[in-house]
Copies of this chain bind each other. A is one copy, B any other.
Amino acid sequence: MLIRVNSNKTAKPVPKLSELARQNAVWSEFKYPRGSEIFGEAEPADYVYQIRRGAVRTYKLLSDGRRQIGAFHLQGDILGVENDEVHRFTAEAIVETTLWTAKRRRLFGRLAKGDISAANHIRDLVTITLEHAENHLVLLGCQNSLEKVAAFLLELDRRLEQPDVMVLPMRRCDIADYLGTTLETVSRALSSLQEERILSLVGTNHRGIILHDRSRLAQRATSA
């Protein structure tokens, strides 16, 4: 039995625009095909981006191909707000993605002019990124594979806010590189959680996930 899942057609309109987006009306829209690079690590950070539709992964690569995904960015998220002049991650569209872009200088120019509220707002954005990275450290350093997958699902459940079926935009491989494990281990953990009736995998490539018991899933996410 397969339940057909439409990818994102029923998603709600782009959530609350951030302060940053509101303050600057001059955003241009661009469309990135699946797998295309939005910006590269160590490239000049000339633009700031907001996701209108789609999903983005940001990652660092080691010379031998190992990859650590630092974050997934979903509809409404801002990315590319670097304090430095260059990006510290590579950003790629996971699925076909529509972005709004704005000149970074236009934002940071306001700082030079002494716009304190813009400065505070950018600091807040950096802080949110930092908090996420700090929690990610605990995940990578302290959790076993089942806990990692459970925590990942809870994070995405919270962020996607789709009550019925959560549709993952990313592949197992992306999840694995986010969690510091392998795609096989992710697949096994998901099968195991399905075995326990905590969730159901549905749709093409099992990208759809129905959470039956969030509280039991939360138990799996810490101190298994």
Q: Name A's B-contacting residues (CB within 8 A).
A: 60, 62-64, 66-68, 70, 83-84, 88-89, 111, 114-116, 119-120, 122-124, 126-127, 129-131, 133-134, 136-138, 140-142, 177, 179-180, 222-223
Q: Report B-chain residues with C-beta under 8 Å of the C-beta of A88.
A: 131, 134
A63 partner, pick from B60, B130, B134, B223, beta carbons under 8 A: B223
A107 to B45, CA, bound (A): 29
Q: Which of B83, B120, B137 contacts A140 (CB 8 A)?
A: B137
With A114-B116, A123-B83 in contact, is A68–B137 under 8 Å at CB? yes
- Name which residue of chain B comes closest to A138, CB basis: B68
| Given A88-B131, A127-B84: A66 and B116 interface contact (C-beta under 8 Å) | no
Given contact pairs A116-B116, A119-B120, A129-B130, enumerate 10 new A-B contacts (beta carbons under 8 Å).
A63-B223, A64-B223, A66-B223, A114-B116, A122-B123, A123-B123, A137-B137, A140-B140, A140-B141, A140-B180
- Please classify the interface of chain A as helix (H, G, I), strand (E, B), loop, or mixed, using the class held by over half of its residues: helix
Closest 8 CB pairs of A and B: A141-B180, A140-B140, A83-B127, A64-B223, A133-B133, A119-B119, A66-B142, A68-B141
Give the distance in Å from the alpha carbon of A111 to the alpha carbon of B177 in the complex: 39
- Asked if residues B137 and A136 are in contact (CB atoms below 8 Å), the reply is yes
Contact A62 B122 (CB under 8 A): no
Residues in B with CB closer than 8 Å to A66 are: 142, 223
A142 nearest CB across to chain B (Å): 4
* Cα–Cα distance between A223 and B65 once the two chains are bound (Å): 9
Residue of A111, A137, A179, A223 with most partner-chain B CB within 10 A = A137
User: Given the complex, which residues of B lie within 8 Å of A122, measured CB to CB?
Assistant: 123
Residue of B nearest to A69 (CB): B141
Q: A83 — nearest CB in chain B belongs to which residue?
A: B127
From B70, B126, B131, B137, contact of A127 by CB (8 A): B126
Known contacts A67-B142, A68-B142, A140-B137; is A126 also within 8 Å of B130 by CB?
Answer: yes
